[in-house]
Amino acid sequence: MRFVKMQGAGNDYIYLNGFEEEIANPGVLAKEMSDRHFGIGSDGIVLILPSESCDFGMRMFNADGSEAEMCGNASRCVGKYVYERGLTKKKKIMLETKAGTKILTLRIKNKKVESVCVDMGEPVLSPEKIPVKKTGASVIGQPFSIGNEIFNITCVSMGNPHVIIFMDDFSNRDLHTLGKQIECNPLFPECTNVEFVKVDSPESLYMRVWERGSGETYACGTGACASLVAAVLNGFSHRNAVLHLLGGDLEIEWKEFDNHVYMTGGAELVFEGEWPYKG
Ligand SMILES: N[C@H](CCC[C@H](N)C(=O)O)C(=O)O
């Protein structure tokens, strides 16, 4: 099976072309391929698929084999893949995901995709839709205790669940332990992605992420969008800010006129190859 490994802000996935390959058991494949010692090594796999309602479809599986509704960094890489490999000539691409249709706008330079802006849609704040076991219209800066510490949490869905914790400094914190403890806490019936955010200025935020199903990754596009929304709701940032992640920067804007969040960033090919059929 042919595969392509790509990364967006260091969030690396293996992309499989569903137009050419029969991909049975993608969850099992995701676990095997993602293994950094016995496989190719990645944060998960992404299937690029035909779609009846859109130009293309995308499905994404975490490194543990679980399927996520949406992946921001992968959506930009899919844009680069389909354009540069001649699957489309369009620079505005409708992408079907489990979290609805996302619109990609490609910026092209010398026939290459230089960056992609994704209309990520509206953030979801209602606890039962995220889901988070809380009452009320939203969860913004509410206390949540883990071990003997109390954190203020803000919950946002960008098609997939996110909990955002603002910290003055996360450089000497054990985010792995904290991330693991929060990811499948009973408060989150479908588990959650966890973002730790340090506000640098109203236009600049530092973020680290513990992803549901993949652990710490270098970046998370939906997480960056959710963090910006959380920062605005808590009065920490403007509606347009740069999110600095371990693997690079993303520009996020939560527009007032349509309530949609727009994410702009790069997408890069790492390498491609062939995966042997096993069994
Ligand atoms: N890294 C991805 C999100 C993966 C989300 C996944 N870990 C889940 O929701 O289970 C992004 O760029 O948006």
Q: Is residue 127 part of a domain?
A: no
> Ligand 1: which of 222, 245, 252 to mutate, most ligand atoms within 8 Å of CB?
222
Q: Closest Cα partner for 225 from 250, 190, 199?
A: 250
Q: Is residue 136 part of a domain?
A: no
Q: Is residue 43 part of a domain?
A: yes
Q: Are residues 248 and 269 in the same domain?
A: no
Which pLDDT score is estimated for 200? 98
Q: Are residues 208 and 147 in the same domain?
A: yes
Q: Are residues 158 and 227 in the same domain?
A: yes
Q: Are residues 238 and 160 in the same domain?
A: yes
Q: Are residues 9 and 112 in the same domain?
A: yes
Q: Is residue 76 part of a domain?
A: yes
Calpha distance 5→59 (Å, rounded)? 15
Backbone angles phi, psi at 215, to 5 degrees: 75, -155
Q: Are residues 254 and 270 in the same domain?
A: no
Residue 111 CB: number of other CB atoms within 10 A? Answer: 7
Q: Are residues 28 and 65 in the same domain?
A: yes
Give distance in angstroms: CA of 233 to centre of ligand 1: 22
> Ligand 1: which of 220, 228, 246 to mutate, most ligand atoms within 8 Å of CB?
220
Regarding beta strands 11-17 and 44-49, do their DSSP bridges make them parallel or antiparallel, or are they unpaired?
Answer: parallel
pLDDT per residue, tens digit, the chain (279 aa), is 999 999 999 999 999 999 999 999 999 999 999 999 999 999 999 999 999 999 999 999 999 999 999 999 999 999 999 999 999 999 999 999 999 999 999 999 999 999 999 999 999 999 999 999 999 999 999 999 998 999 999 999 999 999 999 999 998 899 999 999 999 999 999 999 999 999 999 999 999 999 999 999 999 999 999 999 999 999 999 999 999 999 999 999 999 999 999 999 999 999 999 999 765
Q: Are residues 6 and 111 in the same domain?
A: yes
Q: Are residues 65 and 175 in the same domain?
A: no
Domain count, the chain: 2
Calpha distance 146→148 (Å, rounded)? 6
Q: Are residues 158 and 105 in the same domain?
A: no
Q: Are residues 115 and 147 in the same domain?
A: no
Which pLDDT score is estimated for 189? 98
Q: Are residues 174 and 243 in the same domain?
A: yes
Give distance in angstroms: CA of 70 to centre of ligand 1: 6
Q: Is residue 148 part of a domain?
A: yes
Q: Is residue 89 part of a domain?
A: yes
Q: Indicate which CATH number applies to the domain containing 170.
A: 3.10.310.10
Q: Is 72 annotated as a binding residue?
A: yes
Q: Is 62 annotated as a binding residue?
A: yes
Ligand 1 surroundings by CB, under 6 angstroms: 11, 62, 68, 71-73, 160, 193, 211-214, 217, 220-223
Q: Is residue 131 part of a domain?
A: no
| Residue 191 falls in the annotated catalytic set | no
Q: Is 17 annotated as a binding residue?
A: no
| Active-site entry in 54, 71, 77, 155 | 71
Q: Is residue 254 part of a domain?
A: yes
Range of the domain at 10: 2-121+265-274
Which pLDDT score is estimated for 278? 66
Cis amide bond preceding 127, omega within 30:
no
Calpha distance 209→152 (Å, rounded)? 16
Which pLDDT score is estimated for 172? 86
